Structure 1
């Protein structure tokens, strides 16, 4: 089965989502930008080693630092994996919805999310990466 690795780049951290060919998450995480190369290589050699062999594409948001992260990932993967840039506009709002879905927030929190536009306390960059993976699937895998 094919795999999609999506990255939501940022100034301090990057969200990562490894999904199956239907956009369902296999692994979600956040890596610090300052140690991104080392941490990504550890993931590649460790926790995600078998999963990345079936990598179809790397989807990366078109925002801050995307070029640098793309070069790091290419050097670690050492393969001819395709890289696709995806527009990040609005991904944070969609990521909040995914956070609510996957983290099973309670009804009180859901009320605060809706009425007060409340944001989660914890980073949601991994869900923004999942949004990018699903945008890729919607656009290229019709």
Structure 2
């Protein structure tokens, strides 16, 4: 049974990368330059003992897949492409839930604020969770 996956939100300039474990939840969340995706995914795979990748189907997913395929673990990646519809909006909400604004910013409605950092890592978490939820229903 699959326990841990690497979620990737592919982008032209940067990619969200997250490792999500079924039991522990999010164990790694980061945003990496797109050109560093292969080595970053390989390091995560080694650290967390997984070769399962959930890749969002955004416009840059083909380039992301090529970068991953040039940095293969000893056993090849198992890559699943997954729909990333509405994940950016979900990631923004999740960011604010996990990092509530402080000071005067807490008085401004969240719908009027943009997170102060990229949410690509949160998108990667959401993609991984979608996949783990989907396969749990088929087990």
Report the TM-score when normalising by structure 1.
0.79
2:63 alignment partner, SS class = helix
CA offset at residue 71 of structure 1? 2.4
Structure 1: give runs of 5+ residues left out of the alignment.
Answer: none
1:58 alignment partner, SS class = strand
Structure 2: give runs of 5+ residues left out of the alignment.
Answer: none
Distance verdict in 2 for CA 1:81–1:50, change over 3 Å: same
Aligned to 2:28: 27
Distance verdict in 2 for CA 1:21–1:77, change over 3 Å: farther
CA offset at residue 59 of structure 1? 0.3
Report the TM-score when normalising by structure 2.
0.80
Deviates more, 1:93-102 or 1:4-13: 93-102
Count of aligned pairs: 134
- 1:91/1:128 contact within 8 Å kept: yes
Q: 1:39-50 counterparts in 2 under 5 A?
A: 40-41=38-39, 44-45=42-43, 49-50=46-47
Q: 1:35-114 counterparts in 2 under 5 A?
A: 35-37=35-37, 40-41=38-39, 44-45=42-43, 49-51=46-48, 53=49, 55=50, 57-78=52-73, 79-106=75-102, 108-109=105-106, 111-114=108-111
* Structure 1 residue runs of 4 or more that deviate by more than 6 Å after TM superposition: none
Tell me how far apart the structure 1 counterparts of residues 90 and 12 of structure 2 sit (CA, whole Å): 20
Distance verdict in 2 for CA 1:31–1:84, change over 3 Å: same
CA offset at residue 101 of structure 1? 2.7
CA RMSD of aligned residues (A): 2.5
- 2:45/2:51 contact within 8 Å kept: no
